[in-house]
Amino acid sequence: MTPLEKVAGRAIPFGLKNIDTDVIIPAHWLKTTTREGMGRGAFESLRADPDNLFDRPEYQGAPILIAGDNFGCGSSREHAAWALGDLGIRVVIAPSYSDIFSGNAVKNGILPVVLPQAAIDRLLEVAATDPVFVDLDYQTVTTEFQDRFTFEIDPFRKMCLLEGLDEISLTEKSDAAIGAYEKQLDADRPWMRPAA
Amino acid sequence: MTQPRTLYEKIWDAHVVEQRADGTCLIFIDRHLVHEVTSPQAFAGLRASGRRVRRPDLTLAVPDHNLPTTARRDAAGNRLPIADAESAAQLAALEKNAPEFGIRYIDAVAPEQGIVHVVGPEQGFSLPGTTIVCGDSHTACHGGIGALAFGIGTSEVEHVLATQTLLLQPAKTMEVRVEGDVGPGVSAKDIVLHITGVIGAAGGTGHVIEYTGSAIRALSVEGRLTISNMAIEGGARAGLIAPDDTTFAYLKGRPYAPKDADWDAAVAWWKSLATDPGATYDKVVVIDAADIAPSVTWGTSPEDVVPITGTVPDPASFADPSKQVAAAKSLAYMGLEPGTRMQDVPIENIFIGSCTNSRIEDMRAAAAIVKGRKKADTVKWAIVVPGSGLVKAQAEAEGLDRIFIDAGLEWREPGCSACLAMNPDKVPAGERCASTSNRNFVGRQGPGSRTHLVSPAMAAAAAVTGRLTDVRELMA
């Protein structure tokens, strides 16, 4: 996973509420056995409109997406995070996310920044013409116009993103604890193992 | 004396392997369900890193998402190939990965095959008090039998395969209490659609919902699975319903359920999981069952719910400006005008199925409405997709398949089907579908498709009349 600390650039001023993962990547793009190339299917139904935001020249390769409340709701498909990553998105800024999407984003090196709606409204305004700056270490989103918004993030997620950590390797360090739990479970509730 | 705890807190506490300083916990996963769409990249990851599946005995794979629901064998009993090359490749990957990693596998033509969330409880693989995960958001379904069950992404699928654990932050708790008796024609689906309308699509975000109250207690296990299934539609990653005698009677004797003395020990532990008197939830919503009518969605979010007796709302009627914008976009997509009576909305397609509503009780409810009636001529496509091979066999033993076929509906093979249109079962662009599935998102049932979420009986009623219909008008 590519580490993430500072991201600067154009931000797609999307802003819509309740954007589900079926909109981010429709189901027919899920018929694949790899993680690559999903960007072509990203926001397909919206991009059918020739004047859509995503295909405007000024937002090509934009590393930031500004979204609305409950972004990434619905299906658990991680393909949504892969699709955003393939588009070049490293940071999403929204008032809230579905729990599953925000987890998937972090596991793919995408930072889900939570800011209140008023901050989102201001950033949508700035993003129409100017770049946005995100600093994960200092937990800030800034603009060239003195705007400075700070955000909260779970320390573990922050560390994983800053260092580009592989979570499975981290968990494998707890191998003995997992083994001890399994042994105790077999002693306390042996019937938990499937009977057949 | 220990602090009173909720059902959620008891299950959580029983699964903590390690707690980190920031409150994050390494949680043991008792059951891992795997299907063909969200697992290939996880198995590829294991292979690339030389890892094995830590607990193949706790892992069960079954294909469901993109299998066609047409016949799977020819007249001579030979397996038919899947025409779509990409779907065939995903199925082939699962068929290769399951034996390679030594995990339990129900193949596409096995009598037990079905939608993973129907198969789990039906096989007794899903049990109360267990943690269950699957790379599918409707894993919340298994909360209907009192399991802490939630959907995960593919990276987490790989993490669980490798370590049988997940790193999680504890969720907040939310009680949704439905008290009283529901009226005639009101099913579990109507209850959960109503709940979603009340709490909103993000109302449960960050929470696990426990459904309580007399209206929930009165439901069968099938109905409880329907309710918990759609917890995710209210933003909650998981739903829970306390296991009780109804749950135990449902599970007893199922293939993977505990037997004999183990069964008694299991029931004793399951009973101890009920929320303690005096335990508190972070959020409580109380609903009067008498307020719930047969319900239907008008928009493209599952929170867009009205009673069937209602009308399409005016976007200006919403207080939240962003909801006004979203509602206007929804109505444009759905081709609906504010003020239109829901019962006047014509329907061209009917889908009865999905992990929300494809169990035997759902088949019976739909069949009871179409029995002795005919599909309206204006309904072009009407399919009934049982949730598993066992549901299909049971329905056929009861003669339900004949009732559907005689009425002009198609009786199909089990799978996810038109719920998400990954297989050939799609709703054409611009056409409406009365669907017993769980999501009315833009393009969910096929590009340009317009979905109205309803109960099985309501879908059956729409099949007969060719429009959204108050099922109570067709009840004897």
**Percent of chain A beyond pLDDT 70?**
100
Q: Which residues, including other chains, have CB under 8 Å from residue B395's CB and lie 6 or more apart? A: B360, B363, B364, B367, B386, B401
Rounded CA-CA distance B240/B176 in Å is: 10
In chain B, which residues have their Cβ closer than 8 Å to the Cβ of A96? Answer: 202, 205
Measured between CA atoms, how close is A2 to chain B, in angstroms? 15
CA-closest candidate to residue B453, choices B232, B244, B218, B193: B193
- Report the residue count for chain B: 476
In a domain, A1, yes or no: no
Specify whether the CB–CB gap between B454 and B296 falls below 8 A. yes
Rounded CA-CA distance B174/B241 in Å is: 12
Task: Please indicate if any CB of chain A lies within 8 Å of the CB of B266.
Answer: yes
Q: Do B151 and A100 touch (CB under 8 A)?
A: yes
Specify whether the CB–CB gap between B377 and B466 falls below 8 A. yes
Question: Residue A15, by phi and psi: left (phi above 0), alpha (psi -120 to 50) or beta?
Answer: left
Measured between CA atoms, how close is A122 to chain B, in angstroms? 15
**Percent of chain B beyond pLDDT 90?**
98
In chain A, which residues have their Cβ closer than 8 Å to the Cβ of B139? Answer: 76
Measured between CA atoms, how close is A40 to chain B, in angstroms? 16
Rounded CA-CA distance A6/A124 in Å is: 20
Whether the pLDDT of residue A70 is over 60: the answer is yes
Residue A1 banded pLDDT, cuts 50, 70, 90: confident
pLDDT (mean) for B395-402: 98
Q: Which of B27, B41, B123 to mutate to test the interface with A (most CBs of A within 10 A)?
A: B41
**Percent of chain B beyond pLDDT 70?**
100
For residue B99, give both structure tokens: 């034996």
Which is it for strands A64-66 and A11-13: parallel, antiparallel or unpaired? parallel
Question: What was the pLDDT predicted at B408?
Answer: 98
In chain B, which residues have their Cβ closer than 8 Å to the Cβ of A97? Answer: 205
Question: Residue B180, by phi and psi: left (phi above 0), alpha (psi -120 to 50) or beta?
Answer: left
Whether the pLDDT of residue A101 is over 80: the answer is yes
Mean pLDDT of all residues in chain B? Answer: 97
Rounded CA-CA distance B284/B199 in Å is: 10
**Percent of chain A beyond pLDDT 90?**
97
Over residues B8-28, the pLDDT tens digits come to 999 999 999 999 888 899 999
Residue B259 banded pLDDT, cuts 50, 70, 90: very high
Nearest CA in chain A to B333: A45
For residue A95, give both structure tokens: 């008032």
For residue A88, give both structure tokens: 């070049």
Task: Please indicate if any CB of chain A lies within 8 Å of the CB of B239.
Answer: no
Rounded CA-CA distance A182/B4 in Å is: 26
Rounded CA-CA distance B207/B282 in Å is: 9
Over residues B290-345, the pLDDT tens digits come to 999 999 999 999 999 999 999 999 999 999 988 999 999 999 999 999 999 999 99
Q: Do B255 and A195 touch (CB under 8 A)?
A: yes
**Residue whose entry in the numeric block shows the structure tokens 């200006």:** B316
In a domain, A57, yes or no: yes
In a domain, A177, yes or no: yes
Specify whether the CB–CB gap between B148 and B131 falls below 8 A. yes
Nearest CA in chain B to A169: B159
Over residues B262-287, the pLDDT tens digits come to 999 999 999 999 999 999 999 999 99
Task: Please indicate if any CB of chain A lies within 8 Å of the CB of B368.
Answer: no
Q: Which of B17, B22, B49 sits opposite A177 (nearest CB)?
A: B17
Question: What was the pLDDT predicted at B203?
Answer: 96
Q: Could you write out the DSSP letters of every residue in A88-155? A: T--EEEES-B-HHHHHHHHHTT-EEEE--HHHHHHHHHHHTTS-EEEETTTTEEE-TTS-EEE----H
CATH number, domain at A35?
A: 3.20.19.10
Specify whether the CB–CB gap between B356 and B226 falls below 8 A. yes
Rounded CA-CA distance A188/B30 in Å is: 14
Q: Which residues, including other chains, have CB under 8 Å from residue B397's CB and lie 6 or more apart? A: none
In a domain, A19, yes or no: yes
| Dihedral Cα B387, B393, B394, B397, nearest 10 deg | 150
Which is it for strands A111-114 and A91-94: parallel, antiparallel or unpaired? parallel
Task: Please indicate if any CB of chain A lies within 8 Å of the CB of B44.
Answer: yes
In chain B, which residues have their Cβ closer than 8 Å to the Cβ of A30? Answer: 37-38, 65, 422
Nearest CA in chain A to B267: A191
The domain tally of chain A equals 1
φ, ψ of residue A20 to 5 degrees: the values are -90, 165
Q: Which of B125, B235, B447 sits opposite A45 (nearest CB)?
A: B447
Q: Do A98 and B205 touch (CB under 8 A)?
A: yes
Q: Which residues, including other chains, have CB under 8 Å from residue A133's CB and lie 6 or more apart? A: A6, A7, A8, A140, A141, A142, A143
pLDDT (mean) for B434-442: 98
Evaluated on CA atoms A120, A123, A129, A133, the torsion sign reads negative
Whether the pLDDT of residue A92 is over 90: the answer is yes
Rounded CA-CA distance B113/B107 in Å is: 6
pLDDT (mean) for B90-98: 97
Question: What was the pLDDT predicted at A2?
Answer: 86
Q: Which residues, including other chains, have CB under 8 Å from residue B412's CB and lie 6 or more apart? A: B69, B70, B353, B383, B384, B385, B386, B425
In a domain, A195, yes or no: no
Q: Which of B30, B124, B154 sits opposite A192 (nearest CB)?
A: B30
In chain A, which residues have their Cβ closer than 8 Å to the Cβ of B125? Answer: 194
CA-closest candidate to residue B330, choices B363, B302, B350, B309: B302
Q: Do B155 and A181 touch (CB under 8 A)?
A: no
Residue A166 banded pLDDT, cuts 50, 70, 90: confident
Measured between CA atoms, how close is B86 to chain A, in angstroms? 6
Task: Please indicate if any CB of chain A lies within 8 Å of the CB of B264.
Answer: no
3-state secondary structure B100-117: HCCCEECCCCCCCCECHH
Rounded CA-CA distance B149/B468 in Å is: 33
Over residues B456-465, the pLDDT tens digits come to 999 999 999 9
Whether the pLDDT of residue B165 is over 90: the answer is yes
Task: Residue A69: give the domain boundaries.
Answer: 6-190
In a domain, A98, yes or no: yes
Residue B419 banded pLDDT, cuts 50, 70, 90: very high
CA-closest candidate to residue A65, choices A98, A87, A45, A48: A87
pTM greater than the 0.90 cutoff:
yes
Q: Which of A114, A191, A193 to mutate to test the interface with B (most CBs of B within 10 A)?
A: A191
In chain A, which residues have their Cβ closer than 8 Å to the Cβ of B262? Answer: 190-191, 195
In a domain, A93, yes or no: yes
Residue B1 banded pLDDT, cuts 50, 70, 90: low
In a domain, A14, yes or no: yes
Angle at alpha carbon of residue B299, lines to A70 and B418, rounded to 5°: 90
Rounded CA-CA distance B389/B392 in Å is: 5
| Helix, strand or coil, per DSSP, at residue B383 | strand
